[in-house]
Amino acid sequence: MSDWSQLSVLVTGGTGSFGQKFVEIVLKEKTPRRLIVFSRDELKQHDMAGRFKHPSLRFFLGDVRDRERVRRALVGVDLVVHAAALKQVPACEYNPMEAVRTNIEGGANIIDAAIDRGVKKVLALSTDKAVSPVNLYGATKLVAEKLVIQGNTYAGATGTRFACVRYGNVIGSRGSVVPAFREQARRGEITITDERMTRFWLSLDQGVRFVLASIERMKGGELFVPKIPSMRVTDLAAAIAPSARTRVVGIRPGEKLHEMLLSEDEARHARDMGDHYVVYPEFEWWSEEHLNGGKPLPDGFRYVSNDNPKWLNRDDLARLVRDSDA
């Protein structure tokens, strides 16, 4: 897909944090024939239209839950980046069927419509919380991953290909802990669930660029995992509000002490590609000829946030937080 000038591209959840950064970078660097923002928020679409003012940009109101609307949106589309999701852990725990309808049924609608409409590539966004999930959000994203990868089987010889990217917490995204810490800092006290807690972290810009690279690499069936740094939540709190007190309140329901991006079982059929990992599908339709270099991972390998060779210190975190505001 190197010649983006001829492509019609649609991004679901296009008015979200990822979607807006994706639109910004793609319009500036790729200039596709059409770039369609699919979302259900007409106010944010209006704001984006005023912000970007680009002849390639289109806006399509709709919800991934609405099968017929998704089918209509994908007419003539070559590439879909599927970023729409309900992702707030407490909200998904309290409203489980809503999370299922958006994250699972919405994903199934994208898969079916993409095959029916002859879309060439679909890349779906996932999360570290899909690995050994302990909350409903993670469980729905695990199911969504399985659906997307298996979509290649459903597509058969039609030519539509599906893959996923999976990464950690995104600084600057809606629901990030950064705004919560800033608000608490105004009151002089930041609450931390556990002082040992670690997370994978990357910027919105890094997330979008990894997605763009994965679109070019994908053959269909892969799950791409970037190598990204870890951070300690205590360091993040100190970077945002060094003079604020901290109070430990205990781990919340559905929360992990550390996150995992690659499990031991997945590592058996994954490759180290240098700056990222690729988990290959375990299906008979997957051919060895699709392997694109890389090294097998050692027995027992796991990619976990507390056992990561790359770490962000307080200065790194402070700089990233400042950059996300720019």
Q: Environment class of residue 266 by beta-carbon count within 10 Å: exposed (0-12), middle (13-18) or buried (19+)?
A: buried
Q: What share of the chain is helix, strand, coil (3-state, %, to 5)?
A: 45, 20, 35
In the set 87, 121, 129, 256, the catalytic residue is 129
Inter-residue contact 26 to 1 (CB < 8 Å): no
Instruction: Give the pairing of strands 34-39 and 8-12.
Output: parallel
| DSSP code of residue 292 | -
Whether 310 is a known active-site residue: answer no
Q: Per DSSP, what are the bridge partners of residue 38? A: 12, 60
Reference 294, options 280, 312, 305; nearest CA is: 280
Tokens of 277: 């990992």
Reference 77, options 118, 27, 125, 40; nearest CA is: 118
Tokens of 108: 């199934």
* Catalytic residue IDs: 129
